[in-house]
A and B are shown apart, each in its own frame.
Chain A
Amino acid sequence: KAGVTQTPRYLIKTRGQQVTLSCSPISGHRSVSWYQQTPGQGLQFLFEYFSETQRNKGNFPGRFSGRQFSNSRSEMNVSTLELGDSALYLCASSLALTSTDTQYFGPGTRLTVL
């Protein structure tokens, strides 16, 4: 079974631009979560989607948004990019929303903002 895939793997943008990252979950998984990883802040939760609905959101500004499609694929968007948005963005999928469900991570998208 294929794992979680994320595209693109690497991205370079300039300040003020916007960016869209894509995540395809493991087949049959309905929950997709997004995380930001930076050297200074570590891994931080962005948001979680289940059945096309945002179920939970971390403490990030409104410039960070996401959505989930009927096939469970998810996208996240960051508008008006700032230098501090440079990070590895990780997507994780799981079967459902229970706390015991394992979240399986993709390889991440490395975003660099110049």
Chain B
Amino acid sequence: AQSVTQLDSHVSVSEGTPVLLRCNYSSSYSPSLFWYVQHPNKGLQLLLKYTSAATLVKGINGFEAEFKKSETSFHLTKPSAHMSDAAEYFCVVNPSSGSARQLTFGSGTQLTVLP
């Protein structure tokens, strides 16, 4: 069984300050992990993905995430927030084994960026 826990439902930062969105996962197999972003009334856009290569993954728009197996975490960071980063962010796990290939989504973190 697999699960994803996003530790904060809401995060608020000031423009130009760092962003940290936290995600812990549970998976019976070595998982693939993803971060997606959803802007209002839009579909989901892939930010980055981890697929057992480098543990530090760089994504689009200056975001990156570090896979830490010992902590079962995959936190998303960005050095400097921009107003356009305001959106909902989803941490997603996909098992790497077996026929049960389906994405399991976290509950989402709403990021607010203050001017």
Q: Mark A residues whose CB is within 8 Å of B.
A: 4, 33, 35, 42-45, 48, 55-56, 58, 90, 92, 97-100, 102-108
Number of B residues contacting the other chain (C-beta, 8 Å)? 26
B72 sits at the interface (CB 8 A): no
Give the docked Cα–Cα distance between A58 and B96 (Å): 18
Give the docked Cα–Cα distance between A107 and B42 (Å): 5
Q: Tell me if B's interface is mostly helix, strand, loop or mixed.
A: loop
Q: Determine the chain A residues whose CB is within 8 A of the CB of B108 once the complex forms.
A: 42-43
Are A105's CB and B99's CB within 8 A? Answer: no
Q: Chain B: which residue is nearest A106 at the CB level? A: B43
Pairs across A and B, CB under 8 Å, 25 listed: A33-B102, A35-B103, A35-B105, A42-B105, A45-B102, A45-B104, A55-B101, A56-B99, A58-B102, A92-B44, A92-B103, A97-B101, A99-B31, A99-B32, A99-B94, A99-B95, A99-B96, A100-B94, A100-B96, A102-B46, A103-B46, A104-B46, A105-B36, A105-B43, A107-B43
Give the docked Cα–Cα distance between A108 and B43 (Å): 6
Give the docked Cα–Cα distance between A35 and B36 (Å): 14
Most A CB atoms within 10 A — which of B34, B46, B101?
A: B101
Tally inter-chain residue pairs, CB-CB below 8 A: 60
Give the docked Cα–Cα distance between A97 and B36 (Å): 19
B42-94 interface with A by 8 A CB criterion: 42-46, 49, 51, 90, 94
Q: Determine the chain B residues whose CB is within 8 A of the CB of A45 once the complex forms.
A: 102-104
Known: A48-B102, A56-B101, A105-B36. A100 touches B45 (CB 8 A): no
Give the docked Cα–Cα distance between A108 and B41 (Å): 9
